[in-house]
Amino acid sequence: MDYNQEVKRRRTFAIISHPDAGKTTLTEKLLLFGGAIHVAGAVKSNKIKKTATSDFMEIEKQRGISVATSVMGFDYKDIKINILDTPGHQDFAEDTFRTLTAVDSVIIVVDSAKGVESQTRKLMDVCRMRNTPVMVFINKLDRNGRDPFDLLDEIEVELKIKVRPLSWPISNGQTFQGVYNLFEKNLQLFTEVEKQTIGESIELHDINSKELEKYIDRYAEKLREDLEMIEGIYPDFQVDDYLQARVAPVFFGSALNNFGIRELLNCFIEIAPSPKSFTTIERVISPDEQKFSGFVFKIHANMDPNHRDRIAFVRIVSGKFERNTNYLHVRHGKQLKFSNPTSFMADKKSVIDEAYPGDIVGLHDTGNFKIGDTLTGGEKIHFKGIPSFSPELFRYVENADPMKYKQLAKGLDQLMDEGVAQLFINKSSGRKIIGTVGALQFEVIQYRLEHEYNASCRYEPIQLYKACWIQSTDKKELDDFKRRKYQYIAEDKHGRDVFLADSSYSLQMAQEKFPNIKFFFTSEF
């Protein structure tokens, strides 16, 4: 297969949703249908002892939530699929935001009973900023849910995108019959007896045929009315509208019961975009270019606690990546060679010899990388738009065991490199402050320090409103500001100046009194 064919057969996407909408379950079932796993695990279940493939960290298994993005690659119908399962919980949103910079499209999961929830709105804002094509999967049809037309209206209003149903549910909950697939013009029937198996679909091109009554009896007329209404309300589906992020195709199903998954997957591989171009500060990089380039969008410390390894996740943008080949680390200006680059199935890694645009490659890292770093075949380019958000929750972090000072320092250093939280050192007191966007992050950091680094820390409260990075071309004004606000000035891990505002009022006053200082609430690495 030549280079261009390899690029065209890639589909790299993230699955996003509010917590508990069924995102990780959907990921499991896509892996099951793709033949990547043989038994689907559960995120939380008393009966199923196997945990979800994508939730491999110990704390994820205990809590039944995803706390880090995991990457899974597999082949389906000669298409190479790269799924990035993201955390739904808002306390881990930063990991999700950064993951969205590395994908070409997105599947949004919506709970049929709850509709669009707050976290889904925020994530859709990020997709809209990047013009990322989205597909919607309305989940949990086997439970009593809301009217599908109401759900579609809500998605249009709340997510600010036009929708076009490509499958349609026939009732729901106890009386759920199945779905009519508008994309393939066939009927999929739901039978509770077979809910853990994959049933065959029924070809039914003429919806007015009396044959329909044979399958769904008293629900046939209602289905015909609904389909007539859909054709009247929604324009015909155009793939280009989806690729331009103007329309979101919508599918209905039940991830837990394997229902509607194959239809979603078949449509996805047919219409979803292959790897796209990315913008650097210098120019636009196309996947068709033969010269290698890629960027680090995530770092994960201790993927294998036995080896204390750090893995940098690299999204390949152009060219073929090859094992044991020298590549330029643009920020350091030095050549690096990788003897065991890996592909992923969550925490299971296998060494690869080559990879193409759209693929996610894991590189063993001894501290060379930080999020946003660029690797190339020699060209000096800088990928942009991988943000680090201003934290809103803060704690002093102290060593709880003086004998373990080195372990704590190393643990904090490596965990902060992941970008899950940020470390600031107060200039006046020299004390270390951890800032996060979510309270649960403090627990995760404490847990991982103890279990992965054999270090223990304790937190002390600190009253702060927001951290923002400061810059100015007026050195005199900047020095004056730093002198006046000395006790609120800190340095981040990269030595940049940060103002730790203790209230919204003090931040507002600082912005008014020092007009030549820029206050940044996201730091683009």
Q: How far apart are CA 74 and CA 54, in angstroms?
A: 13
pLDDT in tens, 387-401: 666 788 899 999 988
Label residue 510 by pLDDT band (50, 70, 90): very high
The torsion angles phi and psi of 231, rounded to 5 degrees, stand at: -65, -30
Label residue 439 by pLDDT band (50, 70, 90): confident
What DSSP letter does each residue of 284-352 carry, written as one string?
A: EEPTT-SS-EEEEEEEEETSSTTTT-EEEEEEEEES-EETT-EEEETTTTEEEE-S--EEEETTEEEE-
pLDDT of residue 192: 61
Q: How far apart are CA 25 and CA 9, in angstroms?
A: 25
Domains of the chain: 3-271 (3.40.50.300), 278-376 (3.40.50.300), 387-524 (3.30.70.3280)
pLDDT in tens, 181-200: 888 888 888 776 554 444 55
Single-letter residue type at 81: I
Q: How far apart are CA 377 and CA 381, in angstroms?
A: 10
347 burial level (CB within 10 Å; 0-12, 13-18, 19+): middle
| Residue bearing tokens 């060379």 | 368
What is the end-to-end Cα distance of the chain in Å, rounded? 37
pLDDT in tens, 477-497: 999 999 999 999 999 888 899
405 burial level (CB within 10 Å; 0-12, 13-18, 19+): exposed
Q: Which of 136-145, 325-334, 435-444, 450-459 has the lowest mean pLDDT?
A: 435-444
pLDDT in tens, 123-180: 888 888 889 999 999 999 888 989 999 999 999 999 999 999 999 998 888 888 888 8
Q: How far apart are CA 205 and CA 207, in angstroms?
A: 6
Q: Is the pTM of this model over 0.85?
A: no
pLDDT of residue 51: 46
Listed in sequence order, the residues at least 6 apart from 392 whose beta carbon sits closer than 8 Å to its beta carbon are 435, 437, 465, 466
Phi-psi category of residue 324: left, alpha or beta, with phi > 0 → left and psi -120 to 50 → alpha: left
pLDDT in tens, 285-344: 999 999 999 999 888 776 555 555 678 889 999 999 999 999 999 999 999 999 988 886
Give me 28's structure tokens: 């499991």
SS3 category, 182: coil
Q: Which of 198-202, 231-235, 399-403, 466-470 has the lowest mean pLDDT?
A: 198-202
Listed in sequence order, the residues at least 6 apart from 66 whose beta carbon sits closer than 8 Å to its beta carbon are 23, 24, 43, 54, 55, 60, 85, 86, 87, 88, 89, 92
Of 6-20, 185-199, 435-449, where does the model show the most confidence?
6-20
